[in-house]
Structure 1
């Protein structure tokens, strides 16, 4: 078996609204509706757009997160959904679909490497912009869960949270003694010190909450 991660630029109802916003969508398709996990600091305009384009049947909110059940399936509104390309090339989609930065990220499973090659060729032929982020051969199950990867362990951080956290690590914020301050990080990112500290705390909380169960 072979697994690849494709990043696809398109203009879908979920891709477009993430293009200029600090937010991310994860989608599980249920044929008649979609289950969405939405995270980020700018999700209100995104949810408003989804409500207009697709419809929202139910919604749960908490701070910068939302779980949404749509009124209809995205495939009912599009003719270029990824599933028809997967079916034609004998590939499978590993959910969820991820939408961020105006792109759709798909984890795809194929029995033969050639299937991934023809899938890529078909998408490019239809003028999709494709970036192959990763590709690997799967020869044995990983741990007790097949196809478990680091993405399944690490929590979803917003683009801004990842930016601030990465900068903090690179600049020595977590070194002993510290080599920078949150004020300096804020100047580098171009946001307020308070916002920088908030992004750091949220990122740290997500990481620690997710990883603490693996310490035992």
Structure 2
């Protein structure tokens, strides 16, 4: 059974806490992350545009290896940051350990991360909790509840993890808006894949959702007679 958890992670070694600790914002939002290799991860972050945090300021942070501006969105400036993870916590951010865990937007302050996350079951969350604690990161659980909408999302469950990741990113970045707010090549860059690969993921994911959603409808049977 899928569960929804809300928790706080606390450690000075957590990625990106150096931004609110040393620069003007009290908090930043992380809307997407992608593991490049065991000790490096890409984060898509949003910073209040009124605070005028510069690309150069972000690039000067010790943990940040590259900075790519992505423009403004809802009064925030969006950056893609490649971060070198501390050796002590890099195992905790290995996505292969927690394939059943899906991140929602995370609030990051100088004290740590405030995060809501979906896990495929309680055992996966327990493993996640234990791994972070063993890496020296304190986890304070705020709430844990079953996903009440799980029975209504059977079509989504048929997606591969990569298809779901691509579709979620496309929706959150406005790819399906009219007019589009982001192009396919930009989404592909965020995911670290080619544009044709991104287009294939979206196309197969869309087909799966449509097929699963429509196949059980009464009127389809009527039309096929």
User: Normalized against structure 2, the TM-score is what?
Assistant: 0.49
In structure 2, the CA distance between the partners of 1:35 and 1:63, relative to structure 1 (3 Å rule), is closer
Partners of 2:97 and 2:34 lie apart in 1 by 20
Kindly state the Cα deviation for residue 114 of structure 1 after the two structures are TM-superposed: 2.6
1:66 and 2:77 are equivalent in the alignment: yes
> Within 5 Å, which residues of 2 pair with 1:74-89?
74=83, 76-79=84-87, 80-81=89-90, 82-84=92-94, 87-89=96-98
Kindly state the Cα deviation for residue 83 of structure 1 after the two structures are TM-superposed: 2.9
Residue 139 of structure 2, aligned match among 127, 130, 135: 130
Q: Where does the alignment leave 5 or more consecutive residues of structure 2 unmatched?
A: 37-41, 157-225
User: Normalized against structure 1, the TM-score is what?
Assistant: 0.51
Cα pair 2:7 2:141 within 8 Å, conserved: yes
Kindly state the Cα deviation for residue 66 of structure 1 after the two structures are TM-superposed: 0.9
Cα pair 1:83 1:93 within 8 Å, conserved: no
Q: Where does the alignment leave 5 or more consecutive residues of structure 1 unmatched?
A: 147-216
In structure 2, the CA distance between the partners of 1:141 and 1:88, relative to structure 1 (3 Å rule), is closer
What is the aligned-residue RMSD (CA, Å)?
3.4
Partners of 1:102 and 1:115 lie apart in 2 by 25
What SS does structure 1 have at the residue aligned with 2:105?
Answer: strand
What SS does structure 1 have at the residue aligned with 2:14?
Answer: coil
String of CA shifts for 1:40-74, please: whole Å, max 9, x gaps. Answer: 764627x554222323222535896211133xx32
Cα pair 2:49 2:77 within 8 Å, conserved: no
In structure 2, the CA distance between the partners of 1:108 and 1:87, relative to structure 1 (3 Å rule), is farther
Q: Name 1:18's counterpart in structure 2.
A: 20
